[in-house]
Structure 1
Amino acid sequence: MEGDTLLAERKLPGRGASERFVPVVRQLLEEAGWNRLPAREKARQLGIIAVTGPGSFTGLRATLALAAGLRRGWQCAGIGVSLGEAIRATLDDRQATVLCHARRGRIFVDPPPGLMAVTGPYAVPISEVRPGQWQRVAGDAVEGSEALPELLERLGKEVEILPCSAPRASGLLKAARSSWAQRLSRAAEAQDERAFIPLYVDPPEARLPAAGLRLPPQ
């Protein structure tokens, strides 16, 4: 985006999208006329925005590594927003709860700020979802071709399902502006260094070997 004008946008649905990130980003930059590395003076006006989570381990790592590489290469500002922040900004609805896919019969829940005592995204088994738990919901677990029938049934007929399974570029920009305004107490450089840390809900599955790591080759 340039200002509030959308120059180019792509949606990559389905599994394996992370494998196409780099060539698609190159196409987007060419389409927007940004295919050349900007001069340092212009780079200071740029900003990289990325969703930090929740989401799949591979998808988040690939997305945020690419975002961090662009930010370092262009020496520009960077900021990360949660999936819930981005979808709520896309919908212009601060009270929507975002429900997205997780593994093992669960969903990720990104509640709006101030909802009960919950502070940030968490995972919950679909079998534990109850009618009336949330008033308005959005996200790929409840809307679009990948909506989960079991989850929709458990949510009941009273819940309002909002038409947004993924954030738009305009929503990302709006969420980033709001998030940046809330973080002005910290230095911009410090924000940039921590901008793209993944927001993992689940603990990492990788474990160190019981016998420890092998010695490096001599």
Structure 2
Amino acid sequence: MIVLGLDTCLNACSVAVVDGGRVLAHRSEVMARGHQERLAPMAQAVMADAGLPFAALGRIGVTVGPGSFTGLRVGVAFAKGLASALGLPAVPVGALEALAAEGGEGLVAAAIDARRDQVYLQAFDAGRPLMAPDALPLGQAAARIVELSMGRPLTLVGSGAPLLADAAPAARVLTPEGCDARKVAELAAARAPAPLKPLYLRAPDAKLPS
């Protein structure tokens, strides 16, 4: 099955086309803003790189958060529109799960810097979640890392990984700017479609004027 993977949740825009685990095309650009302007042209370019029409797709996978409120909504809206236009199923993929997939098959903790002395955190063991995604104060997140690792080899992945590195000095630390759309597509291929709903773990920082 050919899957289009999309990510706009963090500080990158990433698109990939994967067929049964084989990457047909992939593009990624680091950006803090501008996902809305780049996503559609990048998707068109990736399909052209793969030599495929959009009609060849079997499904679409997209990261749904946590992450940038604006960025994740861009990806979700685009995936919904494209899936509707093509009559395709869409699959939501958590940003923390997608990040963790870059850390390998062992014990992996994905952490995103949520500002305000917090991180979004989720841990996995051999790809199986050990906890639900959560927004935690740094001290509580560090204690969770100590509790989970218990001397085992650990990989920390994400923008929040350096903030937790002192809790696991021997951990491997990876700091990608965003989720890898190739991993998003692979995860989406392995699960059933579901409604695309942004995953918000806390209220937005911006407030409407009173």
Output the TM-score relative to the length of structure 1.
0.69
CA contact (8 A) 1:105 1:125 kept: yes
CA contact (8 A) 2:165 2:173 kept: no
* Greater radius of gyration (CA): 1
SS in 1 for 2:115: coil
Q: Which has the higher contact order (CA 8 A, sep 6+)?
A: 2
SS in 2 for 1:96: strand
Sequence identity (%): 25
SS in 2 for 1:48: strand
* Partner residue in 1 for 2:146: 132
* Distance in 2 (alpha carbons) for counterparts of 1:14 and 1:207: 24
* Partner residue in 1 for 2:50: 32
* Partner residue in 2 for 1:16: 33
CA contact (8 A) 1:109 1:121 kept: yes
Call closer, same or farther: CA 1:201–1:23 in 2, change over 3 Å.
same
The alpha carbon displacement at 1:87 in A equals 2.9
* Partner residue in 2 for 1:202: 202
Q: Which protein has the bigger strand share?
A: 2
Extract unaligned runs of 5+ from structure 2: 1-17
Extract unaligned runs of 5+ from structure 1: 143-147, 181-187, 211-218
* Distance in 2 (alpha carbons) for counterparts of 1:156 and 1:91: 15
Call closer, same or farther: CA 1:177–1:99 in 2, change over 3 Å.
same
The aligned length equals 181
* Distance in 2 (alpha carbons) for counterparts of 1:101 and 1:174: 25
* Partner residue in 2 for 1:67: 79
* Partner residue in 2 for 1:213: none
Instruction: Give the counterpart of 2:105 among 80, 87, 93.
Output: 93
* Distance in 2 (alpha carbons) for counterparts of 1:209 and 1:96: 40
CA contact (8 A) 1:51 1:81 kept: yes
**Alignment partner of 1:2 is 2:19:** yes
